[in-house]
A and B are shown apart, each in its own frame.
Chain A
């Protein structure tokens, strides 16, 4: 991710109610929002930001942009992201959630082919406290400091940031990488970015039990042990949700994950090989401190900082 306070930002779907609220807040925070796109609204100005019908027109008028933040509705998100990629944008933040998985498959194929970084979907974006705000983070909870916060959640990120801020631990950056089964950028990718970030001394990873995949967290635990020389603290939510509840109808369970269920009572399958158990086990095995609750995180940060000197 190439991100500085001077990065030029495009907002796709700027006329959506959510976008207009947050665009004003980003601008007020000092973020350089240079243009917005909303088909049919071209030629207007919203909060002093020029609006265009197409991404291409926006770029022709304001020059290359560094990052596009997408606020369009779920079924329009694939198209918006493809439009941004076609116009040469290589960093995209998808605030939109609820994008059908097969749309994400198409988008990620394109992103891989064009080396585009996709943050999200269902992301609250990125905040560098005191410097730049991209997305929907509530700046009130954040303060500048040296804790890098990576989160697979939206507003639980503020909860954790707020606990740290109250205890005097500010944040170097907070990234909401998205809470859905499919996310563009992985925990490992962001750990690598934070490993190289001079302002980050300790990393807090907030994740949740998802019943679809565990490989990202397992890979993260391996990366932390093998390569990372910064301390990491993990906070998992959903640990006490009973297994059978997670396996109830209505979950987006891949058949592969649930493993051939036609003939088998689901309870039998829930037993040991659940991804959630695998996820937590990976961090336990790696002896990475696991917080039980948000209010415990500042203490663990304190210990980690002391240890690392």
Chain B
């Protein structure tokens, strides 16, 4: 997760990395009480890069200018993201600018220090002069000094820039970050250093052992993916969502494994279907699987996917042994039964409702009123591969669910149902 600039600078300040006096602006009116002397820079606080070029960074000489600039920036989306806050910062005149970063090299499996004697917006120039030092064993200051020399720095800059790199490294290690970047690190005519812009990427896996970062994360603007599924869920039982979202898609995917999810997305795309989003349940999701939590995860995922109105077909693929497959059948059965009963008892809560089943038969089997039911929830295609399921089993036969033990067939079925759903929405209503 990327922190916003003002959050990153807060951490820089705590670590003793020099940053400019700045103020968070939640509303353009806040500028009337600005504590920083003009001229100031106003910066859009979005996670996307390229803010400068997109017009998200503006200078202001006085309050009137600043309010106008702030209004413009608040209304300017950058790569689809509107800022919720701006950062007002003192203007700084740098004679030189450097690039510095600390990150992990996944090939070398070690942290690396990166530095370029050319910083700023011209990335090609930054990259051309980029130097790297691998932190092969326990960190010590010499690694940082080594980088400054590779960058071609001389005199007092060797020590002062090394100190900044060292502080970045400590920030990186203490907070389990994926990366810390300062670009540019400004150098004043007197040789003073200033982190003019900065970026911190937090490692999601490590978040739970850093409560301060976790609470920052909780305050971040919601991503599109989070908006697609209800969030009234205990964050401790968080379900991983594949990190993509296809806004044109109408097939929801639920499965037990990240690579399996990728395989299913590939299959659906290559057969002409459009996945919307994907939830992953199971061991790798929780790391602590007990029979109760497995059922709970599965139910929660079904709930989240069926509530998403963009999803017309729900493709479920749970790979496991016979016992696991039977469990999935039982969970889907009880989930669908419960849904039907809820809808019957609380018709006002229904959003997809087309016709009302009469309340008196609320305990009858789902299969008995399949037509009404199908209009209320996405269609289910469930693929279970583990073990031989007895196809004559009652839930399998009576639920409005397409069962399959073959992945290719299940994908094909899901796509043809999704296409039919798309057609019936755009053309004449189907008369199933």
Residues on A facing B (Cβ under 8 Å): 16-18, 21, 73-75, 96-102, 104-105, 108-109, 122, 136, 138, 140-141, 151-156, 158-159, 162, 179, 181-182, 206, 208-209, 212-216, 237-242, 245-246, 248-257, 259-267, 292-295
Closest to A156 in B: B259
Task: Tell me the chain B residues, 83-114 only, with Cβ under 8 Å from chain A.
Answer: 99, 101, 103-107, 109-112, 114
Asked whether B266 lies within 8 Å of A239 as measured between CB atoms, the reply is: yes
Knowing A18-B289, A100-B206, A249-B2 are in contact, say whether A152-B176 is a contact too (CB < 8 A): no
CB neighbours (8 Å) of B183 from chain A are 260, 262-263
Is there contact, CB below 8 Å, between B290 and A17?
A: yes
Question: B291 to nearest A CB, angstroms?
Answer: 8
Q: A241-B244, A267-B79 are in contact. Are A73 and B287 (CB under 8 A)?
A: yes
Partner of B257, one of A140, A141, A155, A209: A155
Q: Chain B residues near A212 (CB, 8 Å)?
A: 106
Known: A17-B288, A102-B173, A102-B176. A238 touches B49 (CB 8 A): no
Cβ-defined partner of A256 (8 Å) among B105, B197, B256, B263: B105
Partner of B259, one of A17, A74, A152, A214: A152
Assess whether B52 is interfacial by the CB under 8 Å rule: yes
Partner of B260, one of A156, A209, A292: A156
* A264 near B123: Cβ-Cβ < 8 Å: yes
Q: Are A99 and B49 in contact (CB under 8 A)?
A: no
Chain A residues with CB below 8 A from B209, complex form? 75, 100
Cross-chain contact A98 with B287 (CB below 8 angstroms): yes
**A249 B47 Cβ-Cβ under 8 A:** yes
Is B422's CB within 8 Å of the partner chain A? no
A153 surroundings in chain B (CB, below 8 A) = 257-260
B203 is an interface residue with CB less than 8 A from chain A: yes
CA distance A254 to B111 in the complex (A): 10
- Chain A CB within 8 A of B397 CB: no
Report whether over half of chain A's contact residues are helix, strand or loop; otherwise say mixed. loop
Q: Which of B225, B258, B290, B321 contacts A179 (CB 8 A)?
A: B258
Q: Is the CB of B178 within 8 A of A266?
A: no
Check B262 against A260 for contact (C-beta < 8 Å): no
Known contacts A141-B386, A162-B385, A181-B106: does B199 contact A263 (CB below 8 Å)?
Answer: no
Cα A127 to Cα B321 in complex, Å, equals 15
A252 to B287, CA, bound (A): 19
The reply to whether the CB of B389 lies closer than 8 angstroms to some CB of chain A is no
Q: Tell whether B216 is near chain A: CB-to-CB under 8 Å.
A: no
Given contacts A16-B288, A240-B265, contact A262 B387 (CB under 8 A): no
Q: Is residue B186 contacting chain A, with contact meaning CB distance below 8 A? A: no
- A60–B116 Cα distance when bound, in Å, is 54
Question: What would be 27 A-B contacts, judged by CB atoms less than 8 Å apart?
Answer: A75-B208, A99-B205, A100-B205, A100-B209, A102-B203, A108-B109, A138-B319, A140-B321, A141-B319, A151-B259, A153-B259, A154-B284, A158-B385, A159-B263, A212-B106, A213-B107, A214-B107, A215-B107, A216-B107, A246-B243, A254-B105, A262-B49, A263-B52, A265-B50, A293-B407, A293-B408, A294-B407
Interface hits, B158-214 → A, CB 8 Å: 173, 176, 178-179, 181, 183, 197, 199, 201, 203-206, 208-209
Also in contact, A155 and B262, with CB within 8 A (given A101-B203, A254-B179)? no
Q: Please tell me if the beta carbons of B49 and A261 are within 8 angstroms of each other in the complex.
A: yes
**Distance in angstroms between the alpha carbons of A179 and B263 in the assembled complex:** 14
A238 to B243, CA, bound (A): 12
Cβ–Cβ < 8 Å partners of A261 in chain B: 49, 181, 199
Instruction: Collect the chain B residues with CB atoms within 8 Å of residue A141's CB.
Output: 319, 385-386
Q: What's the minimum C-beta distance from A263 to chain B, rounded to whole angstroms?
A: 4
Q: Which residues in B have their C-beta under 8 angstroms from that of A209?
A: 262
Residue of B nearest to A113 (CB): B137
Q: Does B127 contact A (CB under 8 A)?
A: yes
What chain B residues lie within 8 Å of A208 (beta carbons)? 258-259, 262
A238–B183 CA distance with the chains assembled, in angstroms: 32
B1 and A294 contacting across the interface, CB-CB below 8 Å: no
Contact A251/B243 with A237-B259, A263-B49 known, Cβ cut-off 8 Å: yes
A263 to B262, CA, bound (A): 30
B245 within 8 Å of A by Cβ?
Answer: yes
A265 to B386 alpha-carbon distance, docked (Å) = 45
